[in-house]
Structure 1
Amino acid sequence: MSEISESFVSEKVKNIARAPKYRGAIFQVEADERGLALIDGKEESLKIYITVDPEKDQIVETRFFTYGGPIFTALADTLCEHLQGKAIEFLEKTNVHNLEKELRDDPEKPAFPAAATEVQSLAKLIQKLVDSYPEKKAIALAARETMEQVKYRTQTVEGRNEADKEWAALSQEERLQKIADCLHVNVRSTLQMDGGDLEILGMLDDTHVKIRFQGACAGCSASSGGTLYYIEDQLRDNVYYNLNVVPEDTFTDALAAQTPET
């Protein structure tokens, strides 16, 4: 990254650097919730985030973040402004030298010295973003399809009727296997990262599955709140919409086991 005094940059560069419009970040979870593809990348101290509608190949939102000084800030902010609402192909056609010309106070006087390495760095970053889009688009389209299937199976009368019939036709062992597969793929690794885990104890009836929290989860207050709701949501979205998760109550269960039947 070049180290150039602010006295050698245009007033436009300085003004944008003082109050950029598009500084910030876009997280993958935000893009997923909106069914968008997120392409992001980093070069030197600059990172750019772009969300794209994968069906229309249209850019929805842009953000950037940098510690790299006024030139990176002004270039990135100008780029983000140009890309808003444009087709993704507009990114590929972007000429960083044209962005520099827009930042000039005088059309005949460069906005910053030609030796500034930010121009080359931004050009490399743009190419990285362009190259990453096909894969990110495919992932986003697949996620959209999955979301539509989940919505149909959990929120429509027709979908729920189909799910009810399929669930009723399964044996107890088949139901437990589907539950175990879902928890293994969607839940277990998340719990294990925090030192926890879970065990399936069995079905209490057609719609209630009993589990035992293990490790850190066994003594965590979230086990009866956020973690429990997360597990239940995963099972309802991926196995059967009417499933309920019942965590083992070690104290109550132990007491019941000690109480003689009358």
Structure 2
Amino acid sequence: MAKNDLLGGALWDAYSKKVSERMDNPTHLGVLTEKDAESKNAKLIVADYGAESCGDAVRLYWLVDKDDVIIDAKFKSFGCGTAIASSDMMCELCKGKKVQDAVKITNIDVEHALRDDENTPAVPGQKMHCSVMAYDVIKKAAGMYLGKDAADFEEEIIVCECARVSLATIKEVIKLNDLKTVEEITQYTKAGAFCKSCIKPGGHEKREYYLVDILRDVRAEMEEEKMKNVADASASGNLVFREMTLVQKVKAVEKTIDDTVRPMLIMDGGNMEIIDIKDTSDGHIDVYIRYMGACNGCAAASTGTLFAIESVLQERLDRNIRVLPI
């Protein structure tokens, strides 16, 4: 029976031709032995890695010469066809590289090398994790050769294995761009764009960090930092008007009016009071006032007096203030 019949046409079409070919006819499938190493005056490295999330496993064989160059690479894979194709391409990318350079190969490099064209993913998003095994077994082999722990090659906490996006990167992007949704995080970083396991609990595999939690925590940190800055500015007398609470804004406006306009209004038998202050969607701050006494109904209340009040508030508090008498 054809694979197209087994998998369904639509699903099979989600795999590149390169993946399909390497599933059936992997180029580097096999075993390297000590005898092979001796014949080529090289060192044999054998590394194993298993993915607990899906049960797949891969064994990687390297022959490394005296100059740290990987002169041959083979693999044995126990798992799905995608794991076989990814492992096969991983070996191809390793050959001819120094161990120190091979460890820089990522699962994204493997997946891109398996694409038929640059803009079409080689495998469905839910299978991207299969290429992660290739990345991890390379680290294992490099660690064995260089006498290091595989974790030494991972300097950051990786949240999205598919796109290899770190925790630090996600946090920084959220803060720099004031991101508010997981969809925005994916748009900016590609995290969560493939198997989606890192978005929230309950996905393809269990993760230590999820985008929903990171976003919540970073937004909370941002809000806490904002409130701290407001408090510090308030204590020093340098609080930005727009960042004040409604009560603080009313007090600031009242004080400004008391120091400037109100004495003149009272001299003419009038006065005014602050009714409300609202931030608008177009960036303005509307201050609603009510005229009292002689000012109520005065012709100047909607011209000169209004202009004087608005000007002094714009100058001393915020240039986007508009004064609206009611």
The two structures have a TM-score, normalised by structure 1, of: 0.46
Larger radius of gyration: 2
Higher helix share: 1
The two structures have a TM-score, normalised by structure 2, of: 0.37
Greater length-normalized contact order (CA 8 Å, ≥ 6 residues apart): 1
